[in-house]
Amino acid sequence: MEKSPEDIEQPSPAAGAEVGPSPYITGWKLAVLLLGVSIAIFLPNLEVSIVSTALVTIANDLQGFSKTGWVVVAYLVNYTGFIIIWAKLSDILTRKWSLIASLVIFIIGSAICGASQSMTMLIVFRALQGLGGAGCFSISMVVFFELIPPDKYPKYGSLLSADVALATLLGPIIGGAIADGTTWRWVFLINLPIGALAVVALGVFLPNRFPRHHDHSTPSGDNKHSLRRVDFVGTLLLVGASLLLVTGLLEATTEYSWSSALPITLFVVSAVLWVSFVAWEYFATKETWAVEPVFPFRFFPNRYWMGMLLQAFFLGVPFTMLVIALPQRFQTVNSLSALDAGVRLLPYAMLAPVGSLVSNIIFMRRRVPILLLIAGATFQVLGLALLVAEPVRESLPARLYGFEILAGFGVGITFGTLVTITPGSVEPRDLATATGAMIQFRQMGSTIGLSIGSSLLNSYLKSHLAPPVLSAAQLSALLENIRVIFTFPPELQRVTRDAFAAAFELQLKVVVGLAAALFPSILLMLRVARREGRLVPAVTGAR
């Protein structure tokens, strides 16, 4: 009988076979390496959430509130586009030196971001930071799974999920405290000493040829020949398609209108690049080609795996949108400080790691990923729907935090389950690519979702605060610096805050709709068959 991914058991040595030394690092060296890898995973995720509560302060200082979406999106576009290419490079240039190189790029990008003197400079350097962050996260995820035996994936998977969720938890608090207590530049400069610690830990204790450090045979081939296998064309097509799509979404509501020639051109060219990307990956997957595709075409017939990737995509929308939108709402509508806004986000951020931990505990005892994914989607959609139904007031009712708890708990369950079942859902040769693809789809959802959200916010404000509500000069100043609100007469302040409240409510409605798409994605993982009286995962294309 064909087995589903979660039913696959690890092979045991044949009777009488000689068991060689374990290839796994153990003891305190493993602990140090897990710390270094955890930092490399933590910092790029922290950079998504830490700016959430500091964005208003950054925009006011650099005069560019209408461009706040770009501060996050510029990071996420490269973060999304280069995740898989870094994973591929680590197969060729070794895990150790690829990971250290990405950490160094991330640290340099962070330093330059902290020194930026304009919004344009910050946006450009955030792209560099995202390039390094992509490698930090994707290679670390691969190294994490290679450091531990497969039978311990569920146990250590909770650590991995909690690491990502903890970055989401601490980011808004740290960002708010920095914005209120010192210069916002420390939002980026904080990465320098922590990142240096990870570089030292990995440089000293990670073997040069990891994970093949136990194989003392002479490696064949050379790096120049191996580099020809890297799918640079596929990567450029993916980054170009993503960048043009989010640029069109953001520019259509800032400098241009939806009917302008530039946004329409960007959307058309983006669509062409997406089609070209799929076509290129089809040919790159053929065994007659030397290129190793960033997204193997053999992924497509694997319904189970494609369902997981779609869930990662739709998970990324609420995961990032709430972290960015809620603090902005608390600061603009409820007049809270950056730190207070971060504290109000704690219920959502705290329950995400709890949900990840709970999903891994349940999975260790009873492998029911489909039920866990259904539960996670249900909690998310219910919490988000209640947030939308709650009228926006100047004061924040206590039940609002209960809705955040539901949504955060659901996000954690879904993310924790997806991470844990990834290794068993694809062929062994695709582990590095699949791990990168899982992260990539989640971040792509974050990028596109955030672009849509920023577009809706700017569009709503421009249409509902246009003259005669505000003068053209007042509206232009408001879109550059939110503090301008305090210069308005009391009645005009109320009208402006009401417009912001309605815009954020519209954002949440879109988030609910995209989060609800988790349910049809789960259906891809099911086949209508009965085995032991339960629905079982689709296994088409799975190992």
- The pLDDT of residue 405 is 92
Report the Cα 536 to chain-centroid distance in Å: 29
CB atoms within 10 A of CB 468: 5
> And the tokens for 531?
């085995």
Mean pLDDT, 10 residues at a time, the chain of 543 residues: 42 42 75 90 87 85 81 82 78 86 95 91 92 89 83 73 76 88 92 94 87 59 62 84 82 73 89 93 80 82 89 85 83 85 85 83 80 92 88 79 91 86 78 76 82 83 85 82 82 87 87 90 70 42 38
Alpha-carbon distances, residue 311 vs 137, 353, 519 (angstroms): 19, 18, 8
> And the tokens for 96?
């150790």
Question: What interhelical angle do 95-114 and 27-49 show, nearest 10?
Answer: 40
The DSSP 8-state label assigned to residue 405 in this structure reads H
Residue 297's nearest CA partner among 287, 308, 312 is 287
Look at the block and give the residue holding tokens 């081939």.
221
Distance CA 205, CA 117 (A): 38
Alpha-carbon distances, residue 397 vs 133, 327, 334, 402, 404 (angstroms): 37, 16, 12, 10, 12
Distance CA 373, CA 381 (A): 12
Distance CA 347, CA 405 (A): 5
Question: What interhelical angle do 303-332 and 431-464 show, nearest 10?
Answer: 40
Q: Where are the beta strands (DSSP E) in 338-481?
A: none
8 Å CB contact between 436 and 293 = no
Distance CA 539, CA 272 (A): 32
0.85 exceeded by pTM: no
Return the bridge partners of 536, or none. 527
3-state helix, strand, coil in the chain (%, to 5): 75, 0, 25
Residues in the chain, how many?
Answer: 543
Task: Please measure the distance between the N-terminal and C-terminal CA atoms of the chain and give it in whole angstroms.
Answer: 13
Architecture, CATH, for domain 25-209+226-537: Up-down Bundle (1.20)
Distance CA 24, CA 146 (A): 8
Residue 345's nearest CA partner among 42, 73, 53, 68 is 53
**Start-end of H helices in 148-260:** 153-181, 186-189, 191-205, 223-227, 232-251
Cβ neighbours for 24, distance < 8 A, ≥ 6 positions apart: 30, 147, 148, 149
Angle at 304 between CA 302 and CA 306, to 5 degrees: 65
- The pLDDT of residue 213 is 64
- The pLDDT of residue 357 is 81
> And the tokens for 226?
């191996």
Residue 198's nearest CA partner among 45, 96, 111, 48 is 96
> And the tokens for 249?
């979404």
Look at the block and give the residue holding tokens 């870094």.
86
- Cis (ω within 30 of 0) for the bond into 468? yes
Report the Cα 82 to chain-centroid distance in Å: 13
The DSSP 8-state label assigned to residue 230 in this structure reads B
Long-range interactions of 221-225: CB distance < 8 A, separation 24+: 223/92, 223/93
DSSP string across 279-300:
HHHHHHTSTTS--B-SS-GGGT
